[in-house]
Structure 1
Amino acid sequence: MDFLISRNYKVTMKHFETKYTTHDNLVLYLQAWIPDQPKASMLLVHGLGEHSSRYAHFADKLVGEGIAVFTFDGRGHGKSSNPKPTAYFANYQDYLKDIDALFLKVKTYIPGIPAFLFGHSMGGGMTAAYVLEYRPEAKGVILSAPALQPADDVSQLLIAVSSLVSKLAPKLKVLKLDSNKISRDPEEVRKYDADPLVYHDPVPARTGYELLRIMDAIKEKAASFHYPLLLLHGSDDQLTNPKGSEIFFRNVASKDKTFHRYPELFHELINEPEKELVINDILEWIKARMSS
């Protein structure tokens, strides 16, 4: 992999970009930010409709604490979808295979240090499903506003017919997300709306159905989740349901589990006005487990 020196960050680090060909011949965009002397590593899985570069400011903070951050644009997202994002994937199991292959690369690229998993929103659901099914060797799992239960305003009829619609018209656009609900910071909403790598149209039927399948799979296996867990959710999140996080937290078998409930915060916790508090909570949790 070719390394590029980033000039956009205060902390000395290496930034690289590369591509990965999946088991079914899709080409995914990968990137990483690596400190000079990494003490830990993390694979970050982004949310529905967005892309990995939206986490550059978060990676900057992590690298400052010696944590290498690896991430990718998922199937149908960001630079992994040409000519433009579609937010479409046919089977969530393919997504889990991507995560598994890339987490192995993380652990191989910088061996001998603790490796963590971080997932936001849809990526949180994917990450939870991944560790429940694949049982990777991870030091801990961080789930930010994970998609573990349908939002309260999602039509029960839509949920009931989702399987049929996804088979008959998999790319039918069925549910549009309200960008005003991502953050209470108007500037963050403006940047999101103006970002050409963000998918702005309604979610494809198959993608929506696969998300429901993930939620069902997680509910069935939650009691076998044993990893150290940091769960984060805003009380006023209207894009992913905080109730799902509450239920998951109660049901997991982890002896080491922490749940930060942020009053009044919206969906993208690391893009809220209180983002420094949230990021610090994440860093403190990771650092406490890097040497344990």
Structure 2
Amino acid sequence: MFLNLYKSLIRPNMEYASCIWNPMLLKDKIVIENVQRRATKRLNGLTNLSYEQRLRSLGLPSLEYRRKRSDLIQMFKIINNIDKVDKDKLFTMSPITFTRGHSKKILKPVSRLESSSSEQPGKANGVAVSDDQIINSRGQKLFCKYWNKEKQSEDSQNQDYRGLVFVAHGLAEHCLFYKEVADLLINKGFYVFSHDHAGHGQSEGPRSHIDTFDHYVQDVFQHIDQVKEKFPEKTPVFIVGHSMGGAISVLSAMSRPQYFTGVVLIGPAIQASPGAISPIKIMAGKVLARIFPQMCIEKLKTKDLSRDPDAVKEYEDDKLVFHDGIKAKWGLELLRSFDVMKAGFAKVDWPFLVLHGDHDKMCAVEGSQTLYDEAQSKDKQIKIYKGFYHQIHKEPRDDRDTVLKDIVEWLDQRA
């Protein structure tokens, strides 16, 4: 019976994991291998055999064969642009015409396909490798954006700024969506900067995947601390976060309560929508997150982003956006972050402004209200916009201007 179960259920899923999902990280492959290792050991007559012997007895490819096949499949997908991976970060490519129909060859690998990005070449962790990149503590290069450089000459780079503003973007998107917010704040005398979170936009890492939200928080503080070194010690520091970026902002402020002069939350993801997640879904999500952490389990409905069709189309057409949906492991880590934030709401004493649309179908407006109600902050404010969707800063022009004005005025009064 177990043999039939193995052939009908376990083995097909193993093939899916190896050929379709095709994990990039060695630790993910080890998890999958261990599933098959345990499963084959339970088959009658194979208990005392080694893993390789059990595979041969079942007529299955060996472990080494499957690993090489997996890497070759991934290599093919990368070279043919089937996977959204920058092949130039993995290989040094060269045009060639005398092979079997292939237009390029690999001169040398830059990093192993099955290794994590912690072994990538570059300077020491935490040191900027260029003006638009930093390397985080896990060895991933993060794309950074400093909007003031676009609007000012070299002679005005060292002017006095009223405050530093870090922008934390949401899931699947990237920091370049926040140029309008940045420009308005720059006009008020702020220094505005951001980065694409790991696995997003032009930063390295598996797309829209994270092992823990603590990694996002670590990257935020690393980046801000590096920028702060260039400014007077008492320069105010603010953080503005949207959606997932709102969760990152709250977690960051909770971990270092005296760090930020103020926190602005735009449609933050800080509480699950009431009734949206059943215990069965949570249990299933935990299983998938363990076995297939990068499996996409739910698509984002872009029509729920904004009432402005142009804003929705801009998002849908953007090639830096990850359009495949929410991944199992990321979803589980978001739920864990909800628990952390909920437990800390009553201890919040830092200044914040929370903004939310009451028609937001992606992030529960109840979470923003709960934060406001339970926080002990003396300087706290909440604004709920009637009829607004998730990206309230991307709504039709007049409504968008209202939200942006509220953000800029709140920061302006506290700088």
2:243 paired residue number: 121
Query: Matched residues in 1 for 2:403 and 2:192: separation?
Result: 17
Given that 2:257 and 2:349 are in contact with CA atoms closer than 8 Å, whether structure 1 keeps it comes out as: no
Secondary structure at 2:147 match in 1: strand
Query: Matched residues in 2 for 1:275 and 1:27: separation?
Result: 33
- State which of 223, 229, 237 in structure 2 corresponds to 1:102: 223
Secondary structure at 2:202 match in 1: helix
Query: Matched residues in 2 for 1:226 and 1:160: separation?
Result: 34
Given that 1:233 and 1:267 are in contact with CA atoms closer than 8 Å, whether structure 2 keeps it comes out as: yes
**One-letter identity of the residue aligned with 1:123:** G
Q: Which has the higher helix share?
A: 2
Given that 1:43 and 1:106 are in contact with CA atoms closer than 8 Å, whether structure 2 keeps it comes out as: no
- State which of 135, 139, 156 in structure 1 corresponds to 2:257: 135
- State which of 134, 150, 161 in structure 2 corresponds to 1:20: 134
Given that 2:347 and 2:376 are in contact with CA atoms closer than 8 Å, whether structure 1 keeps it comes out as: yes
1:122-201 equivalence runs, <5 A: 122-152=244-274, 154-156=276-278, 157-201=280-324
Query: Matched residues in 1 for 2:263 and 2:138: separation?
Result: 27
Q: CA deviation at 1:183?
A: 0.5
Range that drifts further, 127-136 or 216-225: 127-136
| Structure 1 runs of 4+ with >6 Å offset | none
**Identical positions, percent:** 32
2:147 paired residue number: 33
Query: Matched residues in 2 for 1:109 and 1:182: separation?
Result: 37
User: What's the TM-score, normalizing by structure 1?
Assistant: 0.89
Q: Which has the higher contact order (CA 8 A, sep 6+)?
A: 1
**One-letter identity of the residue aligned with 1:275:** R
Is the counterpart of residue 288 in structure 1 residue 409 in structure 2? no
- State which of 331, 339, 342 in structure 2 corresponds to 1:219: 342
Q: Which has the higher strand share?
A: 1
Secondary structure at 2:403 match in 1: helix
Q: CA deviation at 1:152?
A: 4.3
Secondary structure at 2:138 match in 1: coil
1:244 paired residue number: 367
1:132-159 per-residue CA deviation (whole Å, 9 max, x = no partner) reads 1233521101111110112347341323
The CA RMSD over aligned residues, in Å, is 1.6
Structure with greater Cα Rg: 2
Query: Matched residues in 2 for 1:150 and 1:175: separation?
Result: 15
Given that 2:211 and 2:330 are in contact with CA atoms closer than 8 Å, whether structure 1 keeps it comes out as: yes
Query: Matched residues in 1 for 2:334 and 2:181: separation?
Result: 25
Is the counterpart of residue 68 in structure 1 residue 191 in structure 2? yes
Instruction: Mark the runs of 5 or more structure 2 residues left unpaired by the alignment.
Output: 1-129
Query: Matched residues in 2 for 1:208 and 1:17: separation?
Result: 32
- State which of 200, 204, 227 in structure 2 corresponds to 1:81: 204
Query: Matched residues in 1 for 2:227 and 2:384: separation?
Result: 30
Query: Matched residues in 2 for 1:198 and 1:153: separation?
Result: 28
Given that 1:43 and 1:70 are in contact with CA atoms closer than 8 Å, whether structure 2 keeps it comes out as: yes
Alignment length (residue pairs): 273
Instruction: Mark the runs of 5 or more structure 1 residues left unpaired by the alignment.
Output: 1-15
Secondary structure at 2:184 match in 1: helix
**One-letter identity of the residue aligned with 2:318:** D
Secondary structure at 1:106 match in 2: helix
Is the counterpart of residue 270 in structure 1 residue 384 in structure 2? no
Range that drifts further, 161-170 or 212-221: 161-170
1:205-254 per-residue CA deviation (whole Å, 9 max, x = no partner) reads 01111111111100011111111110000010001000111111111111
Secondary structure at 1:116 match in 2: strand
Q: CA deviation at 1:22?
A: 0.8
Q: CA deviation at 1:106?
A: 2.9
